[in-house]
Amino acid sequence: MAMIQTINLTKRYGELMALSNLNLEIEQGDCFGFIGPNGAGKTTSIKVLATLLKPTWGEARIDGLSVGPVNARRVRSIIGYVPDYFGSYDDMVVQEYLEFFAASYNIHGDKRKQVIGDVLDLTDLAYKVDAEVNSLSRGMQQRLSVARVLLHDPKVLLLDEPASGLDPRARIEMRELLKELHRMGKTILISSHILLELADLCNRVGIIEQGELKYNGTMQDILDRAQTGAVLNVAVASRVEQAAQLIRQLEGVTAAEVTNNHIRISLDTEHKDPSRIAAKLITEGFALTRLEEDRVNLETAFMRLTKGLVQ
């Protein structure tokens, strides 16, 4: 049974279709990356799953429970939701912040003290326990948001742009924290614009555009869909121009440009096997010193598979 499931999930705001018949299944233990431009429907989807927004029609389920008013309290005990903003907590220190939310989950006494200590250690914030919340850096505030939602040990984490606005060090720290939570068996749905970091974190990816889910599958599935032809970087010991001219005559070669004594070769989809390039050069007496294929990454896949349209 899927840990997160949506069935024809739709949300309209008047004439605006924010989410259109979203059908999605995320299995227990998955780390699912939700990708799309601003206005694509990512935040709307997450808010519905977090019981904060009622869909126009369709259904969402968390661990088999239908998300809605009847099951809202039970669903909230299963999920941890981190929005893309932190909020304002004037004159509250980290300890008080976590005490407040632990009490909201009916965690009291020695158990509360233990749980707060555990989440502070996990998020590497124990040394900030007496610091004012509003004095923390953006990165520390985001880690504190994660600490907050871990207090009741949820099965599912819903993270809306958790790395937004973070500096490089804070992004790395956040990514390592999420990797640890994934290793702990949490099911994670994360939306982000930092696509290369999602590629390093997620085992499954969905691409949404104009409220519609365009692609959904493993990371390799998405990359394979976006792979059109191949691009090779080739180097030979000498006679670079002659080697490039030889390659241009081969079937399936759409371009062979010489740059800094390297040849950049573009191959069409039907002739993208690099071995025949190597074999031809060696047969003709060229000393091959490098042959490397450019691989499609998640950013390239996103650009190729979407049109850049927003609502």
**Is the pLDDT assigned to residue 112 strictly greater than 80?**
yes
Confidence at 151, pLDDT banded by 50, 70, 90? very high
End-to-end CA distance of the chain: 33
Give the strand pairing for 79-82 and 4-13: unpaired
Mean pLDDT, residues 122-133:
95
Mean pLDDT, the chain, rounded, equals 89
Q: What are the backbone angles phi and psi of residue 71, rounded to the nearest 5°?
A: -105, 10
Report the phi/psi class of residue 134: left, alpha or beta, with left for phi > 0 and alpha for psi in -120 to 50: alpha
The 10s digit of each residue's pLDDT in 247-285 is 999 988 888 899 888 898 888 877 777 888 889 999 999
Rounded distance between C-alpha atoms, residue 112 and residue 214, angstroms: 43
pTM for the model stands at 0.79
What pLDDT, on the 0 to 100 scale, is given for residue 309? 44
The 10s digit of each residue's pLDDT in 186-218 is 999 999 876 777 778 899 999 888 889 988 888
Domain positions in the chain are 4-225, 228-295
Residue 105 near residue 116 (C-beta atoms within 8 A) = no
What pLDDT, on the 0 to 100 scale, is given for residue 4? 97
Residue 23 near residue 6 (C-beta atoms within 8 A) = yes
Rounded percentage of the chain residues whose pLDDT exceeds 90: 60
For the chain, strand residue ranges (E) read: 4-13, 16-26, 31-35, 57-62, 65-66, 79-82, 156-160, 187-191, 204-209, 212-218, 230-236, 253-259, 262-267, 288-294
The dotted CATH code for 228-295 is 3.30.70.100
Distance of CA 13 to the CA centre of its chain: 26
Rounded distance between C-alpha atoms, residue 204 and residue 165, angstroms: 24
The dotted CATH code for 4-225 is 3.40.50.300
Give the strand pairing for 253-259 and 262-267: antiparallel
Distance of CA 91 to the CA centre of its chain: 34
Q: What is the strand order of the sheet 79-82 is part of? A: 79-82, 156-160, 187-191, 31-35, 204-209, 212-218
4-225 and 228-295: identical CATH topology: no
Residue 50 near residue 79 (C-beta atoms within 8 A) = yes
Picking from 68, 75, 120, the residue whose alpha carbon sits closest to that of residue 95 is 120
What is the Cβ-side half-sphere exposure of residue 208, based on CA atoms within 13 angstroms? 30
Residue type, 192: S
The 10s digit of each residue's pLDDT in 28-37 is 999 999 988 8
Rounded distance between C-alpha atoms, residue 123 and residue 39, angstroms: 31
Picking from 184, 218, 71, 9, the residue whose alpha carbon sits closest to that of residue 63 is 71
What pLDDT, on the 0 to 100 scale, is given for residue 271? 72
